């Protein structure tokens, strides 16, 4: 049976540490699929102007495309160069809930994330997301320093 590891990336160097750890774990496990996830923090409840609401779908699609190009695709390529089975997604939503839902949908065996991000607001957002992920996940979560 193939083990599935979900790797939550934050778009910073800290995500590289999670990716490196997941790569090491996959080597130890053997038959393993690595699922790289990047979540664009987004709330359906934020207040928007009428114009922003009209442009919302287009912005979401652009954000997904940019995150895929800059974060997820390079991570997948790195893992595939190491002869590992990997695929990735970008989603919008609450970071912790989105990763938890994805892990459940994929019947993942483990979630791997990094403890901190490298900067400002992202550090606070992803830091709290990591705590929420650990408390809410239905599968083991490894938090890499």
pLDDT one-digit tens code per residue, 75-124: 999 999 999 999 999 999 999 999 999 999 999 999 999 976 555 555 55
HSE of 99, CA atoms in CB hemisphere, 13 A: 33
The topology under which CATH files domain 3-144 is Rossmann fold (3.40.50)
| C-alpha span between 113 and 103 (Å, rounded) | 13
Q: Which run of H or E residues covers position 8?
A: strand 3-9
Question: Between the CA of residue 104 and those of 1, 17, 56, 100, what are the distances in Å?
Answer: 17, 23, 28, 6
Across the range 10-17, mean pLDDT stands at: 88
Full-prediction pTM beyond 0.75?
yes
What pLDDT was estimated at residue 12? Answer: 87
Highest mean pLDDT among 42-46, 54-58, 63-67, 127-131: 63-67
| C-alpha span between 23 and 32 (Å, rounded) | 10
């Amino acid at each position: 049976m193939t083990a599935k590891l979900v790797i939550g990336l934050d778009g910073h160097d800290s995500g590289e540490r999670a990716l490196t750890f997941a790569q090491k774990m996959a080597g130890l496990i053997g038959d393993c699929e690595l699922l790289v996830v990047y979540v664009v923090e987004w709330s359906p409840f934020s207040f928007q102007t009428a114009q922003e609401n009209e442009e919302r779908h287009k912005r979401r699609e652009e954000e997904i495309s940019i995150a895929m190009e800059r974060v997820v695709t390079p991570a997948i390529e790195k893992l595939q160069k190491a002869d590992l089975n990997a695929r990735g997604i970008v989603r919008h939503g609450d970071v912790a809930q989105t990763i938890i839902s994805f892990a459940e949908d994929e019947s993942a065996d483990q979630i791997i994330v990094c403890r901190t991000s490298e900067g400002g607001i992202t550090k606070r957002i992803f830091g709290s997301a990591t705590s929420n992920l650990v408390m809410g996940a239905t599968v083991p979560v490894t938090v890499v320093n």
